[in-house]
Amino acid sequence: MKVAKDQIVAMIKEMAISMAENKIFLTELDSAIGDGDHGINMDRGFRKVLERLPTVVDKDIGSIFKNVGMSLISAVGGAAGPLYGTYFMEFGKVAEGKEELSNGDFKMMLAAGLEGIKRRGKAVVGEKTMVDALEPAAEAFAVAAAEDKAPLACFQAAVAAAKKGKEATIPMLAKKGRAHYLGERSIGHQDPGATSSELVLRSMLKVLES
């Protein structure tokens, strides 16, 4: 079973809806340990994505994801823009020329996006960043795909893992970004980047569930 291009476009639109709906929540999380603008920035970034989406919907999936990445880099402030931009640009490289995606494609996309973020952000699991949600998600998807499960089941496993990873950031001491300057005061707060990362994956799952 493969996922068609129109579903991919629907996933991107759902991401924009999710960021708009969670703008205040993400901003509140970021106000505790960051600049207090993550929700505002992500919402603005995905508004730009929606604005540009009609210009690429007739192109291949790789081009669509690359456009998402470039839009986020241009519109999202702070560290999130380059990180999320890299994530979707890596998706685009894997999906280049494709009109539909298999489990294998998604597995490679999630792995490539994760590695791009780790390379750019110099972060690893346990440092209270988006990597804490994205790495277990990529691993869970790969395990489910190896068991020949349908894309829906693979994404269900990935989102469940991302949720656990997101929640695991609460007791962590921040070691990256502005949050790490707070030292012990960063403990007890959920990382906004891990939270928005889970929302991205949950948006993809929501389309497959519909």
**What is the residue-level pLDDT of the chain in tens, covering all 210 positions?**
899 999 999 999 999 999 999 999 999 998 886 778 899 999 999 999 999 999 999 999 999 999 999 999 999 877 888 999 999 999 999 999 999 999 999 999 999 999 999 999 888 888 889 999 999 999 999 999 999 999 999 999 999 999 999 999 998 866 655 555 455 656 878 899 999 999 999 999 999 998
This prediction's pTM: 0.92
DSSP lists the bridge partners of residue 3 as: 101
Nearest Cα to Cα of residue 158 among 210, 121, 119, 106: 106
What's the topology of domain 3-209? Answer: 1.25.40
Q: Domain residues of the chain, as ranges?
A: 3-209
Bridge partners for 101 per DSSP: 3
Contact 132, 192 (CB under 8 A): no
Two tokens, residue 33: 């340990």
